[in-house]
């Protein structure tokens, strides 16, 4: 995880800036969100062989926590626009892409909300309150995300078959063995990632913001 944190960190002494110093607005509105997007894409492609086990959701959560909901949501949408269209498992386009982009913003919202409950000064590295809170956030947000994606799948199946019993297809999409298996994988991996890497990631970004003189 140290390498991911380093990928998001922006070394301010090496970048061109206004008068030799990076403008805080440039850092806050462009460079840090872009760094999150690049880290998401790098780790997503690196973990291609592990469906539903990605650092994507954690990164969006951390972006919401450290940069606020608006910028965290922009990270979610921008990353999905790229990864959705250039997905090794096949492109995610049209209504499905819109669905997952909207659903992904729930992680940014959770990150911004958790910051209110647990500000950066109370986040500690290693096991502690932050690992518990981040882990619980992972469970709630991942279930919401998967429910949204599976509801879309059920509606799409009903439309494809010409069946008017949309509720039946949605129920199948939510409760089929395959759906439950992938949801368990998604929730389990996210809980592990959020609890193990979340505190270190948000602390690293907060330290970098402080070094750059960048307010949230």
b/e per residue 11-29 (b: at least 16 CB within 10 A): ebeeeeeeeeebbeeebbb
How confident is the model over 72-130, as pLDDT tens digits? Answer: 999 999 999 999 999 888 888 789 999 999 999 999 999 999 999 999 999 998 889 99
The reply to whether 131 falls in a domain is: yes
Structure confidence by residue, pLDDT tens digits, 37-72: 999 999 999 988 887 789 999 999 999 999 999 999
- Number of domains forming the structure of the chain: 1
Look-up of token digits 């880290």: 39
Q: What is the pLDDT of residues 15-38, one digit of tens each?
A: 444 444 567 677 778 889 999 999
In a domain, 94, yes or no: yes
**Owning domain of residue 105:** 2-211
Residue pair 87/75 in contact by the 8 Å Cβ criterion: no
- Residue 65: both structure tokens together: 């926590």
pLDDT band at 14 (very low <50, low <70, confident <90, very high): very low
Q: What pLDDT, in 10s, does the model give residues 142-185?
A: 999 999 999 999 999 888 887 778 889 899 999 999 999 999 99
177 within domain boundaries: yes
Give the pLDDT band of residue 7 (cuts 50, 70, 90). Answer: very low
Domain CATH for 99: 1.10.1760
User: The pTM is what?
Assistant: 0.86
- In-domain check, residue 178: yes
Helix then strand count (H, E) for the chain reads 9, 0
Tokens of 131: 């690992």
Q: Is residue 216 part of a domain?
A: no
CB count within 10 Å of CB 8 equals 21
Specify whether the CB–CB gap between 216 and 65 falls below 8 A.
no
Instruction: Compute φ and ψ for 183, nearest 5 degrees.
Output: -65, -40
* Cβ-based neighbour number of residue 46 at 10 Å: 11
Q: Which two tokens stand for residue 15?
A: 């970048």
């Amino acid at each position: 995880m140290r390498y991911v944190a380093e990928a998001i960190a922006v070394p301010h002494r090496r970048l061109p800036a206004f008068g030799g110093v990076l403008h805080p607005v440039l850092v806050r509105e462009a460079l840090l969100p872009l760094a999150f997007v690049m880290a998401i894409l790098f780790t997503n492609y690196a973990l291609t062989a592990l469906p539903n086990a990605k650092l994507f959701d954690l990164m969006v959560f951390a972006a919401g926590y450290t940069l606020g909901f608006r910028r965290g949501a922009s990270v979610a949408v921008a990353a999905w626009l790229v990864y959705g269209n250039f997905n090794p498992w096949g492109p995610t386009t049209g209504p499905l892409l819109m669905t997952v982009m909207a659903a992904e913003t729930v992680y940014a919202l959770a990150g911004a909300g958790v910051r209110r409950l647990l500000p950066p000064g109370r986040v500690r590295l290693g096991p502690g309150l932050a690992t518990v809170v981040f882990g619980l956030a992972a469970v709630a947000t991942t279930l919401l995300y998967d429910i949204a994606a599976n509801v879309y799948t059920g509606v799409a199946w009903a439309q494809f078959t010409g069946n008017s019993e949309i509720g039946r297809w949605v129920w199948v999409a939510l409760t089929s063995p395959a759906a439950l298996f992938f949801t368990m994988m998604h929730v389990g991996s996210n809980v592990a990632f959020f609890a193990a890497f979340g505190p270190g990631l948000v602390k690293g970004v907060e330290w970098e913001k402080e070094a750059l003189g960048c307010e949230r």
